[in-house]
Structure 1
Amino acid sequence: MPAALAPVLDLVIVLVFAATGRRNHGETGALEGVLTTAWPFLVGACVGWVIVLVARRSLLAGKALTGGVVVWLSTIVVGMLLRQLSDQGTAISFVIVSLVFNGFFMLGWRALVAFLERRRAHA
């Protein structure tokens, strides 16, 4: 998988998370509303990717799941901090749903790619 595709997948996951949440809560304002909900998490994901890229020569090198955990947790922590600073909601239930949804998909695609690469290497 091309390395440049990984950050794009993470950002798409954040946008899907925001769009799904808005739809489930009956909120309107399609693109603008999704971006309003998503921007703190998009910034958080970008911060996570910067951390991963800076730390590439350290313990994170070659460990997609480890890098994925960094991006996932940065997405949530930075995202919630920015939501709090911008007077958006950070209810505990929202934090939990954010952790679960983004963690499942951000780590899930990495686990699937690692599995497929191992399988192809052994074939």
Structure 2
Amino acid sequence: MAPKRSSHVFTAVIVDLVLVTGFGIVGHWTHGGDMSLVGIAETSWPFLAGLAAAWLLTCAWQQPLSPLRTGVGLWAATILIGMMIRAFLGDGTAGAFIIVAGLLNFATLVGWRVVATAVAGRGGR
């Protein structure tokens, strides 16, 4: 793996982790949760587990900045797996939550890649 590509993989992993954790923080805070690390972790972990599985399922390291090939796949798998974990645990999966989670994570997981490829000017490779 070329040094530039490995730096893109590292950057993509970190940005994805920050964004999905940020989603968990916002969700936890807006629903009156205390801002403890435990509370945030309890809210975020199903989606972080979904993100980890999504990276493996999509082979995201091959084109880590690609909005369509990687971003859309990561988004779909992260939300699907995160919601499945929540449902299995008996946590909320109301329709409105699925829509909000889906839209927000689409905007972040795909959106940052659109910006990155526009800035880089090389189609996400």
- Structure 1 stretches of 5 or more lacking a match? none
Distance 1:55 1:33 in 2: 30
Equivalent residue number for residue 17 of structure 2: 11
Distance 1:44 1:32 in 2: 19
Task: Give 4+ residue runs of structure 1 displaced > 4 Å after superposition.
Answer: none
Per-residue CA deviation, residues 74-109 of structure 1 (Å, 9 max, x unaligned), is: 110000000011111101111011001111011111
Task: Answer whether contact 2:54 2:73 (CA < 8 A) is retained.
Answer: yes
* Identity of matched residues, %: 32
Match of 1:80, SS?
A: helix
Letter in 2 for 1:18: G
> Pairwise CA RMSD of aligned residues?
2.0
Task: Answer whether contact 2:24 2:40 (CA < 8 A) is retained.
Answer: yes
Task: Give the total of aligned pairs.
Answer: 115
Equivalent residue number for residue 36 of structure 1: 42
Distance 2:61 2:8 in 1: 19
TM-score normalised by length of structure 2 = 0.83
- Structure 2 stretches of 5 or more lacking a match? 1-6
